[in-house]
A and B are shown apart, each in its own frame.
Chain A
Amino acid sequence: MSIRLENIGKHFGATRALEPVNLDIHEGELVGLLGPSGSGKTTLLRIIAGLETPDRAGTRTPARILFGQRDVTHVHVRDRRIGFVFQHYALFRHMSVFDNVAFGLTVMPRRSRPSRGEIRARVFRLLEMVKLEHLANRYPAQLSGGQQQRVSLARALAVEPDVLLLDEPFGALDAKVRQDLRRWLRHLHEELNFTSVFVTHDQEEALELSDRVVVMSDGRIEQIDTPETLYRAPQNRFVFEFLGDVNHLEGQVHNGVLTCGDARLAVDLADGAQELLLRPHEVRLAEQPTSDCHLPVTVTAVSPIGAEVRVELAADWLAKPWLATVRHADFERLSLQRGKRLFAHPRQWHRFTDEAAGLLKPHAA
């Protein structure tokens, strides 16, 4: 079921949690709402669910929420046909896993309620899907966090909701379990193809899991795009900075050379103060400077874990240390270690100008 949001804003008292936003979510899509805390992403999700109501007064065009063709703006949460997964699971602790999953079916009005046997069969099918059928008689307190979250997912899916909404579903779990559950949710989504929206503050999670990501900050939608577009073509500085590590280079440009302390870099920019942004993988390390580029740095930390080696670089001319990722081969060739003096060479850099807000200017260096 597709979701259409029109003019959805929210104030809590005098504070504005959400500026009026519009959003279209296609049928079967898995959309991530990504943003720092206080960006309004959870508020937006709760409004979709019907757990909060959007502002009514003060907007010229009325707020509308459509599920497919159905206008659910004034429909109570219990009749909206949504499944909601809470960050802290919100399982009913006095009920067994089975009863938790069956809850939504057992509270249906008598006319539409499935028979006992049917409920049993459906619950076990769901428990099988979340791989917990052997724990049906346990109580939530006897399960691990990851298992509890799977129960809560099965519980939400039991009523066959039109849309599935997840509020920081993996936020309370440790890294390894999070990874597993993410992959598993992706599979489940491909298999059942439900429309779902999830909230996260973890960029990696959003980029890995979503078909499209909605980046939010300060109650506004900054950009809506596929993960690749978002990463390669961020529309503004906030998105660029939020989606990964960023190195800053601030300096004065004079006659095509940017200077900052004893650092120099040839750039084709107008004279004046400029700020360049670089991703860690856009920084190359070498033992010698070139005539165009003289950026002396000292290695302050090395973390050789993972596909690439992460190197922290410091210098007098840097307000904040830089982060660079180098291949293991280069790491060995340069015999990197703490205290080593090297020269940084930007492969490319980015610049966001204030006047043309939201325009990316990638440059090859």
Chain B
Amino acid sequence: MSFQAIRLPRRFSGSPRVLPGFGLSMGISVLFISLVLLLPMTGLFGQLAGLSLAEYWTIISDPRVVASYAVTIGAAAVAALANGVFGLLLAWVLVRYEFPGKRFLDALMDLPFALPTAVAGITLATLYAKSGWVGGLLEPLGFKVAYTWVGIALAMAFTSIPFVVRTVQPVLEDMPAEIDEAAVSLGASDGVAFRRVIMPHLWPALVTGTGLAFVRSLGEFGAVIFIAGNAPYETEITALMIFVKLQEYDFAGASAIASVVLFVSLALLLAINIWQGRFVRRLHGGRG
């Protein structure tokens, strides 16, 4: 094959750019995605191939596994919603106000990314257990956090808060202060200005951030496992079910459950992307 033959037709390389290297950069990108993303995914589906459809269904509809779906989705939803509210507030405070320690608080936002999730899980479990500092205070009041779904949601919220803050923050920074001034000069009350002028700008970022937080929480293992208590049918999360299957050397079963998590996450991400695309098109002059 001559060199000429493998050159991409012009229409694939987009409009001509000043900087060359479309072929090389695209090639490396595809290679990397293949090795890091596609290969493990293929492996996952390879494991599934050994199962018949009936077997697959039996595994993923096992009552204990189904109970774990409920626990995981419920706790993740609560965590994501709580993060949506507080993440928005944190981003707002970080962007709109000047206060001492602002940089520190900003850096702190990334802590859940930097901290090994297992460490976070153990810390939370010790804090909220009956003998822990916070747990010791809450227990007499009748709030049990550790080893309940509340603890699971707490751990999930901890690991996923940066997703909300870091997606909302840049959008808020880009929003000119003149927008609020315009709204208020036209007679809008603070509440109306926030609801009708500021929120519509933040919606896409907030929904994306909350969605990412939710998806992240669905798959969270390390942070949750220590505080969950892992009582069958009550506080077992889906990631734990996968882990249990793996420990029993039931690779096909583990892959089957994993594929459910994967499909749910992918479907959700796709839905958010499509919705956001429509919104953004309108802001940028499309018909939306």
In the complex, whether A90 has a CB less than 8 A from a CB of chain B is: yes
In the complex, whether B62 has a CB less than 8 A from a CB of chain A is: no
Q: How far is the CA of A337 from the CA of B183 in the complex (A)?
A: 56
Q: How far is the CA of A36 from the CA of B123 in the complex (A)?
A: 59
Which residues of chain A have C-beta atoms less than 8 A from B283's C-beta?
93-94, 139, 141
Tell which of A83, A88, A141, A159 has the most Cβ of chain B within 10 Å: A141
In the complex, whether B201 has a CB less than 8 A from a CB of chain A is: yes
Given contacts A107-B196, A139-B283, contact A84 B188 (CB under 8 A): no
Chain B minimum-CB-distance residue to A87 = B178
Given contacts A139-B282, A139-B283, A142-B285, contact A86 B188 (CB under 8 A): no
Q: How far is the CA of A49 from the CA of B178 in the complex (A)?
A: 13
Which residue of the partner chain, among A51, A86, A104, A139, contacts B187 with CB atoms under 8 Å? Answer: A104
Which residues of chain A have C-beta atoms less than 8 A from B200's C-beta?
92, 94-95
In the complex, whether A77 has a CB less than 8 A from a CB of chain B is: yes
Main secondary structure of the interface of B (DSSP, over half): helix
Q: Are B179 and A92 in contact (CB under 8 A)?
A: yes
What count of chain A residues pass the 8 Å CB interface test?
29
Docked complex: A187-229 residues within 8 A CB-CB of B: none
Distance from B131 Cβ to chain A, minimum over Cβ atoms (Å): 52
> Which of the four size classes fits the interface of chain B?
20 to 34
Given contacts A92-B179, A94-B201, contact A77 B185 (CB under 8 A): yes
Which residues of chain B have C-beta atoms less than 8 A from A158's C-beta?
186
Which residues of chain A have C-beta atoms less than 8 A from B201's C-beta?
93-94
Per-position binary interface string of chain A over residues 42-53, scored 1 when its CB falls under 8 Å from any chain B CB and 0 otherwise: 000000011100
Q: How far is the CA of A78 from the CA of B187 in the complex (A)?
A: 4
Distance from B275 Cβ to chain A, minimum over Cβ atoms (Å): 14
Q: Are B187 and A159 in contact (CB under 8 A)?
A: yes
Distance from A169 Cβ to chain B, minimum over Cβ atoms (Å): 13
In the complex, whether B273 has a CB less than 8 A from a CB of chain A is: no
Per-position binary interface string of chain B over residues 181-192, scored 1 when its CB falls under 8 Å from any chain A CB and 0 otherwise: 111111111001
Q: How far is the CA of A77 from the CA of B187 in the complex (A)?
A: 8
Given contacts A88-B178, A90-B176, contact A103 B183 (CB under 8 A): yes
Chain A minimum-CB-distance residue to B279 = A94
Q: How far is the CA of A54 from the CA of B186 in the complex (A)?
A: 21
Q: Are B186 and A107 in contact (CB under 8 A)?
A: yes
Which residue of the partner chain, among B176, B185, B192, B282, contacts A49 with CB atoms under 8 Å? Answer: B185
In the complex, whether B197 has a CB less than 8 A from a CB of chain A is: yes
Q: How far is the CA of A155 from the CA of B285 in the complex (A)?
A: 20
Q: How far is the CA of A50 from the CA of B188 in the complex (A)?
A: 14
Given contacts A84-B181, A90-B179, A94-B200, contact A141 B284 (CB under 8 A): yes
Q: Are A78 and B185 in contact (CB under 8 A)?
A: yes
Docked complex: A42-89 residues within 8 A CB-CB of B: 49-51, 77-79, 82-84, 86, 88
Which residues of chain B have C-beta atoms less than 8 A from A77's C-beta?
181, 184-185
Chain A minimum-CB-distance residue to B180 = A90
Q: Are B192 and A107 in contact (CB under 8 A)?
A: yes
CB-defined A-B contacts under 8 Å, sample of 17: A49-B185, A51-B185, A78-B184, A78-B187, A78-B189, A86-B178, A86-B181, A90-B181, A92-B182, A92-B196, A92-B197, A94-B201, A94-B283, A107-B196, A155-B186, A156-B186, A158-B186
Docked complex: A269-294 residues within 8 A CB-CB of B: none
Chain A minimum-CB-distance residue to B177 = A90
Q: How far is the CA of A333 from the CA of B288 in the complex (A)?
A: 63
Chain B minimum-CB-distance residue to A94 = B200
Q: How far is the CA of A92 from the CA of B192 in the complex (A)?
A: 13
Q: Are B182 and A84 in contact (CB under 8 A)?
A: yes
Which residues of chain A have C-beta atoms less than 8 A from B282's C-beta?
94, 139, 141
